Structure 1
Amino acid sequence: MYPLQRLWHFPIDMWNRLPLRIDLPIPYLQIDVVFVNDPDQIKILREDPACGRMHQVPSGQQPGWAQYFFRGTRFHDVTHDDWFVAMEGQQGNTEYEQRREQIAACLKSEWYTSDDVSKVAELLKSGASDEALAEAMVPIINCRFLQGHTPIPGNIAQDAKRMLVSPVDILKPGVYEKAVAAGKTVIAFCTASGIIKGLKEVDVAHNIGAAANEVVKTLTILRNNAACEDLDELFTRSENTPTAAVPRVALAASKFGGLLSYPARPGKTVFFLNISKAAGMERSLFWTFGTGVPERSCPFKPFAMSFLKDVQHHIRPQAT
């Protein structure tokens, strides 16, 4: 399809209320991205076998921009060409459920302590920085993924914070190079420390990054809303969800039931499912921690909500 024809689809898609599609035929770096906000449209893609997780397309066959971006994130271990479990293709992947179950088991087998709760609560009450919160939360959550519960030093937590979160971060001077270097450091630490059997280094590295970034974000929101009566509702507000979007990739030249005005390009069209907006529209924690259904809920959901509610008990303003 010629560039002018692609441009013509912008107003047509807007008129028909189809997802925003940015299809730029840049030489050697073609960008074909679809932003999907509506929960019902996300559900269509979620159930369609022509749309899959990123690693259902081999890393080297993904769009050039995606290869470049994910190299600086905690989702892809370039050294071993491994992807975080939630990005792995499920079709024909017998390892997927085993890794997911192992992550859930690690989060259940050894819960947090009252001292952990008190420590974080005191940091919040004192107005501690994000860096200090990250250094506190990473050991609480992530030691359980390492053999012998190896202590996780503060510099690893800070490196985890430097990894890319959004493609927009690539545009910030010097950020990308630091993110790639930080990712290598975190992966090397996981390798040297010995990870729990059944996981991969990238699973542990991802969860360190999640603790250093998303969990710290939720704690800051909690501090600012300490008197909130309903934390489940608080963390389904679009602006408060820890993860804004999750990517999926087209596996076939499909229009996905009319969601696209012209077919996707297999392996090249990437969908960003804006689950934060879906959470805000449906007020469900299964969007905050997943893609809307209990069976695909993030294993971290029970841990996170329980910990947040216990911390709130310590920082909630006392009635006078």
Structure 2
Amino acid sequence: MMKTVRSSHWLATLTLAAVVALSALPARANTWPLPPTGSRLVGENAYHVVENDGGSLEAIAKKYNVGFLALLQANPGVDPYVPRAGSVLTIPLQTLLPDVPREGIVINLAELRLYYYPPGSNQVTVYPIGIGQLDSDTLTPTMVTTISDKRANPTWTPTANIRARYKAKGIDLPAVVPAGPDNPMGHHAIRLAAYGGVYLIHGTNADFGIGMRVSSGCIRLRDGDIAALFSAVKPGTKVNIINTPIKASVEPDGRRLVEVHQPLSKTLEDDPKTLPIVLNAAMTAFKDDAATDAATMEHAMEVRSGMPADVAAHHPESPDQTI
């Protein structure tokens, strides 16, 4: 639950905690050293005290370079348009790396994040993304592919389905949208080889939609993020797109962590907050293990905060059990 600070003493304390947390962040708040052997935990959550006229949740998400829905899930009950002044928001910067090879680009659709592993750097950069809308023509598919091409100041050639969809809204799209401020692909585009090259990782000319299902199937990044990724990757870079709403890790210190995101809706009637989360064999074994507190894990699967939570039946002896 979101808590409102009611005491000036606590407000001062939490403000200091926020400053300390932010000062501990790396130079680029979304780039972290890879964890030690046997660990999948990276990053560190921060805290934000909402000021008077502190802006919308989208503005705060952009400030810390996290996705809108990720910030909303980490702070249930907060007003997305006018967060209450004095409220303390958790900024979800901590995450478990997806359980796939740490190579190239890994995109987890369910958590609306892109992970980039720069070769030879022992680091990972985490970007919030926008993905395809809930429609058979605009879904972003899972795939293992490579980067086939990349272009600065790209033109946009909308598909027939996209033009028809816009037409139904009374908008006549040209056959080709030139580069410039009206181009929804922004200033940079990275083309993926699969499916004939119709899917891209690109920027945007909008100030909203990152961390949401807003695109026509492509992967959308904020302008500064796509510029950085564009300059770092080369054609041939591996791209692995998965859809995993729940991740787990047994950490070297004994913590048993789970990170649960809202599953992607499949129909308009679906409620991501209550959609069943299907556990695969490995996740079922993790839950059924005697070292896991099954009730705590069930609670994490209900809350779906999108942040790592310790579900160990017996917490390791440590002066600080916070994640």
The interval holding the TM-score normalised by the smaller chain is under 0.3
Question: TM-score under structure 1 normalisation?
Answer: 0.24
| Bigger share in strand | 2
Q: Which structure would you say has the larger RCO, counting Cα contacts within 8 Å and 6 or more residues apart?
A: 1
- Normalised to the residue count of structure 2, the TM-score between the two structures is 0.24
Instruction: Tell me which protein shows more helix as a share of its residues.
Output: 1
